[in-house]
Amino acid sequence: MIEFLSEYGLFLAKAVTIVIAILMIVSVVAATAQSRQRRDHKGDIIVTPLNDFYEELRDALQHSVLDKDQLKQIEKDRKKEEKSKKKHKEEPRKKRVFVLDFDGDVKASGVEQFANEITAVLTMAEKQDEVVLRLESPGGQVHSYGLASSQLERFRQKEIPLTVCVDKVAASGGYMMACTANKILAAPFAILGSIGVVAELPNFNRILRKYDVDYDIYTAGEFKRTVTMLGENTDEGKKKFVEEIEETHVLFKDLIKRNRPSLDVDAVATGEHWYGQQCLEKGLIDGIQTSEDYLYEISRECEIFEVSFEVKRSMADRLGFAMEGALTRAVSRVLGTSQLRGKNLI
């Protein structure tokens, strides 16, 4: 039995070593690719007219359901409408709606491409237009989601209306982004809220002491390092770390108060999350509606354009990002996102 445990422990150590080595290699490849992206800014803005998409859906269904006489009458009415529009050339242009997507992970790693999309929209959008963001994020690192929300505030500075649609989840860092909008819509069972800050990390100091292993850390500045995973954490260090978390929470609440002054922030900034209908009752959102329903509804009166920024990547870059994403998802499933190091908005 002892021999078996010894062999199993050796096997486990080797497996962990291999996984760590792979993670390091993939991280280097991904970091190099990201650095090259930031340096070159190579990519393309892709614009898709959604009105055409909705018309194609309608036409496909009509040709399957209606008979020839009905289709002829529809075509006759369409030509009549086009002829009428040509006579009124001086009609004011339709309102333009620019649709963006943000599917955020713990690191909000898509924020650089997102910033490019926002910049592209700002080159053309006017005050009479609207931006719709389809947002999905469970939250993550404070600084990353702080940057993402700051990018969205650029629309407020230009007085361009912003509507955020949440179909699944916009919690914590996700809600930090959502609250910058002039209007927030959510599906009935979408999850929002979780206005709080969390930081979790294990401490192995007792294990090191058991095996007479010293861990020394040298700093300049009383609170340069408050708590560590390997050193002995003092009461003063723990207290300071909690203070830093509380300060971050205050900044989070202040951001919400600035953007949603009618909301009782203290009542909802408990770290709890709620479903769409509950969020409406608490004032976290402004309406219950899915993004698809909202866009189709306004498509009758507006020109809608889906905007995305696609980075040009080599085969090595794509392979590196794919491997990094797969390993990150695997590790997240094992450890749970709430156990990731650092202060997180989750």
pLDDT category at 37 given cuts 50, 70, 90 is very low
326 & 297 share domain: no
143 & 22 share domain: no
34 & 120 share domain: no
- From 137, 149, 172, 308, active-site residue: 172
Q: Give CA–CA dist 331/326, Å, rounded.
A: 9
Helix H or strand E segment including 164: strand 162-171
Higher-pLDDT residue of 155, 339: 155
148 & 32 share domain: no
Angle 287-264-277 (CA atoms, 0-180°, nearest 5)?
A: 30
**Contacts of residue 143, Cβ cutoff 8 Å, sequence gap at least 6:** none
187 & 134 share domain: yes
Confidence at residue 10, expressed as pLDDT on a 0 to 100 scale: 61
Above 60 in pLDDT, residue 3? no
63 & 194 share domain: yes
100 & 33 share domain: no
Above 60 in pLDDT, residue 31? no
13 & 96 share domain: no
The per-residue pLDDT of the chain, averaged, comes to 84
Which residues form the domain of 327? 1-40+316-339
Q: Is residue 166 part of a domain?
A: yes
18 & 156 share domain: no
Q: Is residue 308 part of a domain?
A: yes
Q: Bridge partners of 97?
A: 130, 304
pLDDT category at 336 given cuts 50, 70, 90 is very low
Q: Which residue is listed with tokens 């969020």?
A: 279
Q: Is residue 115 part of a domain?
A: yes
> Comparing C-alpha atoms, which of 105, 101, 216, 98 is closest to residue 158?
98
The backbone torsions φ and ψ at residue 142, rounded to the nearest 5 degrees and listed phi first, read -60, -55
pLDDT category at 6 given cuts 50, 70, 90 is low
Q: Is residue 345 part of a domain?
A: no
172 is catalytic: yes
137 is catalytic: no
Q: Residue 219 sits in a domain of what CATH number?
A: 3.90.226.10
Q: How many domains does the chain contain in total?
A: 2
Q: Give CA–CA dist 304/49, Å, rounded.
A: 6
pLDDT digits (tens, 9 = 90+) for 99-153: 999 999 999 999 999 999 999 999 999 999 999 999 999 999 999 999 999 999 9
Query: What average pLDDT does this structure show over 318-340?
Result: 54
Q: Is residue 243 part of a domain?
A: yes
| 194 φ/ψ sector (left φ>0, alpha ψ -120 to 50, else beta) | left
27 & 105 share domain: no
286 & 180 share domain: yes
pLDDT category at 341 given cuts 50, 70, 90 is very low
Confidence at residue 335, expressed as pLDDT on a 0 to 100 scale: 41
Query: What average pLDDT does this structure show over 11-36?
Result: 59
Above 50 in pLDDT, residue 74? yes
Q: Is residue 267 part of a domain?
A: yes
Confidence at residue 337, expressed as pLDDT on a 0 to 100 scale: 40
pLDDT category at 75 given cuts 50, 70, 90 is confident
240: its two tokens: 């300071």
| 172 φ/ψ sector (left φ>0, alpha ψ -120 to 50, else beta) | left
Q: Is residue 3 part of a domain?
A: yes
Confidence at residue 126, expressed as pLDDT on a 0 to 100 scale: 96
Q: Is residue 346 part of a domain?
A: no
Above 60 in pLDDT, residue 237? yes
149 & 22 share domain: no
Does the CA dihedral 324-29-322-109 come out positive or negative?
positive
Among 188-197, 207-216, 289-298, the least confident range: 207-216
pLDDT digits (tens, 9 = 90+) for 161-210: 999 999 999 999 999 999 999 999 999 999 999 999 988 888 888 888 88
Q: Give CA–CA dist 176/259, Å, rounded.
A: 10
- From 68, 127, 210, 224, active-site residue: 224
Higher-pLDDT residue of 310, 158: 158
Does the CA dihedral 66-69-71-73 come out positive or negative?
negative
Q: Looking at the whole model, is its pTM more than 0.85?
A: no
Confidence at residue 229, expressed as pLDDT on a 0 to 100 scale: 87
